[in-house]
Homo-oligomer: A and B are copies of this chain.
Amino acid sequence: MSRNSWRAVKDIRIADVARLAGVSTATVSRVLSDPDKVRKKTHDAVMEAVRRSGYTPNSTAQKLRTRRTMNVLVVAPRLTNPVFAEILRGVDDELTKSGYGIIIGNLDNRREREARYVDLVLSRQVDGVLLLTGYIPEHGARSMRESGLPIVGMCAAIQDPAIPNVVVQDREATRRAVEYLAALGHRRFGYISGTLSSIIESERFGGFKEGIAAIGLSRNDFVRWEGPFVFSTGVAAAEAFVRMEDRPTGIFAACDESAIGFIKRVRAERIRVPQDVSVIGFDGVEFSDYSEPTLTTFRQPLHELGRVGADVLLKLIRGEMKSEDWNIRLPLTLLERETTGPVLHKDYKSLRRSVF
């Protein structure tokens, strides 16, 4: 069986259409791309030939000739994460309007996969790149950076004047989270981290520490539990939490998954949320609406983030703007729901005694 055994039986080229319509290939091309440049009568004849032959231009040939691929690479750390999936929807909506396609660069949290996507750039398979990671992938001798291709960062800011960033204000939001808990009377805090090497994590932890400082507390007034952005990180944090002598009462989780994992686990120990411990998440993914109790969290404008990022990239590709001075920072919304509340007892141990 030949290697190309699967190919369509009939493959119609522009020359076939030209012959059928009795014109040159140039005319057929013009009819399809710039109809005003040909006479109505010719136009109709060509269109008729196109219809009858079922011709669709070979887009690879178009790409080669025009040097535009109409594709954009979106590099994401992990596709199963609903945050990235939702951003992707926004990106897709915007790109589709302009006829651009998406090629997914799913790192699946494995950094060695980067090489593959850098190659897509170097071999000119895309016209631009959206980075949902906080850094520019390197690869061998050359990198995306040197390719000259437009890149937009959509994670925490990439420090490079040539690269515009479209991000959310996670530092500010995290800081607000601490202040919000403090206003409810909390004075001992827990911080459940995300993936340590990620820039998002360091932004959020940075904001957290700013908040701690802002309310006049110090490094001694909080504990930090570490792990990636997944449910089980919250579960592990909860297990450390229940073993503590002097438990914090206000918990900030760097993502909703770990917040929910934490809550599920502490409730199994008959610790009540929010009466015994308040928990605040981050992201505002859909299932946080359905957790028990409903999660207090910051909702990211994910769809908008995707749309704005894609829009900036398209402007860059079209040469309608330069990279400098494009750092957009979208605000987050605090959803005050059921997992946070005022501190009931200063001394948690006495609380336990009184309840059980």
Binding site for B on A (CB under 8 A): 1-9, 51, 54, 56-61, 63-64, 67, 69, 71, 79-80, 82, 85-86, 88-89, 92-93, 96, 101-104, 106, 108, 113, 116, 119-120, 122-125, 127-128, 141-142, 147-150, 231, 257, 260-261, 264, 267, 286-287, 289-292, 316-320
Q: Quick check: B106 and A92 within 8 Å, CB to CB?
A: yes
Bound together, the chains give a CA A272 to CA B93 distance in angstroms of: 41
Interface of A is mostly: mixed
Name the one of B101, B141, B319 contacting A103, with C-beta atoms under 8 angstroms: B101
**Identity of the chain B residue whose Cβ is nearest the Cβ of A124 in the assembled complex:** B58
Q: Do A54 and B6 form a contact, CB below 8 Å, given A231-B290, A264-B292?
A: no
Residues of B within 8 Å of A287, CB to CB, are 231, 257, 260, 287
Residues of B within 8 Å of A119, CB to CB, are 56
Q: Quick check: A3 and B89 within 8 Å, CB to CB?
A: no
Interface centre among A59, A123, A150, A267 (most CB of B within 10 A): A59
Bound together, the chains give a CA A88 to CA B76 distance in angstroms of: 13
Count the copies.
2
Interface centre among A6, A8, A127 (most CB of B within 10 A): A6
Q: Quick check: A60 and B58 within 8 Å, CB to CB?
A: no
Q: Quick check: B289 and A231 within 8 Å, CB to CB?
A: yes
Bound together, the chains give a CA A318 to CA B3 distance in angstroms of: 6
Given contacts A3-B319, A56-B123, A80-B286, 10 further A-B contacts (CB under 8 A): A4-B67, A6-B150, A7-B148, A9-B148, A51-B141, A59-B123, A82-B85, A96-B116, A103-B104, A287-B287
Residues of B within 8 Å of A80, CB to CB, are 82, 85-86, 89, 286
Residues of B within 8 Å of A79, CB to CB, are 85, 88-89, 92
Residues of B within 8 Å of A1, CB to CB, are 319-320
Name the one of B59, B148, B316 contacting A8, with C-beta atoms under 8 angstroms: B148
**Identity of the chain B residue whose Cβ is nearest the Cβ of A67 in the assembled complex:** B4
Interface centre among A92, A290, A320 (most CB of B within 10 A): A290
Bound together, the chains give a CA A56 to CA B140 distance in angstroms of: 12
Q: Quick check: B125 and A54 within 8 Å, CB to CB?
A: no
Nearest 10 CB-CB pairings of A with B: A8-B148, A292-B292, A5-B319, A56-B122, A59-B123, A1-B319, A80-B85, A60-B63, A60-B64, A264-B290
Q: Quick check: B286 and A149 within 8 Å, CB to CB?
A: no
Residues of B within 8 Å of A257, CB to CB, are 287
CB distance from A173 to the nearest CB of B (A): 22
CB distance from A168 to the nearest CB of B (A): 18
Q: Quick check: B108 and A67 within 8 Å, CB to CB?
A: no
Bound together, the chains give a CA A290 to CA B261 distance in angstroms of: 7
Bound together, the chains give a CA A60 to CA B119 distance in angstroms of: 13
